[in-house]
Structure 1
């Protein structure tokens, strides 16, 4: 099976919530033309879609319904016309820091938006065959750490007092890559908590109705097509804009925060593979990333070098709710989906710089 095969959605009606966003457009480009219908429900929120217009990146093969997933009327209208075989649930508020100050907004969209979709399906007495959810690395919180004696534990999130005292790490321990097979979810911010709630709600509903469920926990997704106006997502894009201006990139904490940066093409391929091949036993959760951890210092250095910008500098600033390290074990996804990440960080950053150069004035960054 080829995960990027356009035949993955052939002969089926696919409903994609939040499908006019970064990931949705990339997925539609691969699969929409091969589906019987590819219907996108998206409210074109101005934080992501500055002009509130249909994105140029959304293929013409996709039908766009501009509507709010939290409004029951949306689902009465959409599901009166559409009976999806597959539901791809991408719609979500995604700002980690923003979720601490706008908790109700995140809970409304991420949790109530999910339940309104399910209630809408119930009202029309329709069950899809398969629901695919994009979840997040944020459900793990700080994840699992290993002490020098080999024992492991999952620490609570770092407190504001710890961060203010520049206590970045957990002494005497090292972070282990998160895995759906061994890491217990323990979100450290409101965003992560709402994503875990999505997983639980969908697991309960699909399990009760014998509907297949695939949950893909995504690491830090980046690449061409990412919003250039949303200040709450996309550290790779943010760093790139600063470097384009010739500005030294500021690094939070001590610059040694690590993340797993996975290219949008690899994420779209993973989703396509999941859609094409539902779980054999009705339910699965998989980690989707590059399988490699990168410090933000190394990321910033690569981006700065691309633009001959000054070297990055450490500020000591921090964000409440941020985890110290994030990385994942992708081996279950490799086995389950016949998928593997293909785009290296250096290649992906280069592609992103070229894409941004075509869309931004040099003065804008």
Structure 2
């Protein structure tokens, strides 16, 4: 055997695939996962295909990173830890603040506390960080200055101005790729917790002889992504609406963009970050390096499904959302040797092929929007 690997959140979308990759490479895998209903259904043993996919290849501990006993049991005899366990969803994080902080920050602290105060064999820990820690991405002014604008103004967006502005700068800002050296200024509770997670790992691990690696994931998508969790991403949300024949409400003006990265690329990067010597102590963006607008996402889905539903560009917006962000992937290539990623259109085609094999899920998306509207976070 190559060694022992613990994947927290290892029964999830990313973790279950990563577990299979480690097993294929000759590692013994342990998974610690709370198997929450929002992801795995009310009876995970019968309702979670993700859990079923790893049950026979990994040791699965049903527990939580917020419980010290569960953590102690899981980390015993591990050589590598990949810390994926986290509450996700920028919108939901703005009103379920305590739950997000407890799981994301508290859970990370529990892992490090156990490692710092007891014997261990861990030589490397990889933290799944997020592009959300950047807030808005990087921009260049007409004068050529690199800037990192702060949160957009509510009043301006209410008036239909969704662009990003920099005080004291005349003229439009040019979007550029965001490097790992960018200013950190998250615009959501989720982003704050991911920043703290990353900071804890990168600060504490070296003091207890563990090599830390932080991977700042962009927007992950692909086969196996939850179709019933309304906080999982717009490809899943829009796919469900298309299959139900319901209309799609495109927020803002449809020109907001993200860097969409296919699940296989995420798994490959995470495996390499866990095993490549040069990755030690590095912080690395994991993305495609391409900005794709929401309108382009809808067009790609319509093409892959071979059908369309009515769309409305409504001008609605969510407080805490950013306008643009896409990754500079220079370090991804230099450190991990990953120089190309799955093309977005091809990735969407693979995703849709899988979606069409799945049952049509109920529409939980509207409920999530209603929750945000009730708290004045959706305008």
TM-score (norm. length: structure 1): 0.91
How many angstroms apart in 1 are the aligned matches of 2:217 and 2:256? Answer: 18
Equivalent residue runs for 1:223-262 within 5 Å = 223-262=222-261
The Cα shift of 1:239 comes to 1.1
- Residue 317 of structure 1 deviates from its aligned partner by 0.6
State the 1:126 CA deviation.
1.4
Which residue matches 2:48?
none
Query: Which runs of 5 or more structure 2 residues have no equivalent in the other structure?
Result: 46-50, 166-171, 365-379
SS of 2:315's equivalent in the other structure is coil
CA distance in 2, matches of 1:270, 1:362: 30
The alpha-carbon deviation at position 174 of structure 1 amounts to 2.0
Q: Does 1:312 align with 2:311?
A: yes
- Is the 2:257–2:324 Cα contact (8 Å) retained in structure 1? yes
Q: Are residues 1:26 and 2:22 paired?
A: no
Q: Which residue is 1:201 aligned to?
A: 200
Deviation of 1:247 (Å): 2.9
Q: Indicate how the Cα distance of structure 1 residues 75 and 257 shifts in structure 2: closer, same or farther if over 3 A, else same.
A: same
Counterpart CA distance in 2 for 1:78 and 1:310 is: 46
Aligned equivalents of 1:131, 1:294: Cα separation in 2? 31
Question: Does structure 1 conserve the Cα–Cα contact (< 8 Å) formed by 2:228 and 2:362?
Answer: no
Q: Secondary structure at the match of 1:11?
A: coil
2:105 and 2:111 map into 1 onto residues whose CA distance is 10
Secondary structure of the corresponding residue to residue 11 of structure 2: coil
Q: How do residues 72-91 of structure 1 correspond to structure 2 at under 5 angstroms?
A: 72-79=68-75, 82-91=76-85
Q: CA separation of 1:363/1:126 partners in 2, compared to 1, >3 Å: closer, same or farther?
A: closer
Counting only pairs closer than 5 Å after superposition, residues 155-304 of structure 1 correspond to structure 2 as 155-171=149-165, 172-180=172-180, 182-279=181-278, 282-304=280-302
Is the contact made by 1:13 and 1:36 (CA closer than 8 Å) also made in structure 2? yes
**Change in 2 beyond 3 A, CA 1:139/1:89:** same
- Of the three residues 36, 39, 42, the one matched with 2:33 is 42
- Aligned residue for 1:107? 101
- Cα contact 1:50–1:229 (8 A) shared by 2: no
Cα distance in 2 for partners of 1:335, 1:226 equals 29
Query: In 1, are the aligned partners of 2:129 and 2:216 still within 8 Å (CA)?
Result: yes
Question: Against the structure 1 CA distance between its residues 173 and 15, is the aligned structure 2 distance closer, same or farther, given a 3 Å change threshold?
Answer: same
Verify the 8 A CA contact 1:17 1:91 in the aligned structure 2: yes
The alpha-carbon deviation at position 189 of structure 1 amounts to 0.8
SS of 2:282's partner is strand
In structure 1, the gaps of 5 or more residues are 1-9
Q: Secondary structure at the match of 1:56?
A: helix
CA distance in 1, matches of 2:179, 2:86: 23
Shift, 1:362, TM fit: 9.0
Of 52, 59, 73 in structure 2, the residue corresponding to residue 56 of structure 1 is 52
| Partner residue in 1 for 2:5 | 14
Q: CA deviation at 1:35?
A: 4.0
Distance in 1 of aligned mates of 2:53 and 2:153:
40
| 1:341 CA displacement | 3.7
- Write the deviation string for residues 176-196 of structure 1: whole angstroms up to 9, x where unpaired: 21111x312111111011000
Structure 2 counterpart SS, 1:283: coil
In structure 2, C-alpha distance between the alignment counterparts of 1:362 and 1:123, rounded to whole Å: 45
Larger mean Cα displacement after TM superposition, 282-291 or 270-279: 270-279
Matches within 5 A, 1:108-127: 108-127=102-121
Structure 1 vs Structure 2 CA RMSD: 1.9
Judge conservation of contact 1:247–1:309 (CA < 8 Å) in 2: no
**3-state DSSP of counterpart to 1:352:** helix
* Cα distance in 2 between the residues matched to 1:129 and 1:362: 42
Offset of 1:257 from its aligned partner? Answer: 0.5
The farther-off stretch of 208-217 and 15-24 is 208-217
Asked if 1:135 corresponds to 2:129, the answer is: yes
| Cα distance in 2 for residues equivalent to 1:240 and 1:254 | 20
Q: CA deviation at 1:158?
A: 1.6
Structure 1 CA distance, aligned partners of 2:101 and 2:153?
22
- The answer to whether the 8 A contact 1:44-1:52 is kept is no
- C-alpha distance in 2 between matches for 1:237 and 1:210: 40
Match of 1:70 in 2: 66
Give deviations 1:222-249, integer Å, cap 9, x for gaps: 0011111111112111111112233332
Task: Tell me what 2:169 maps to.
Answer: none
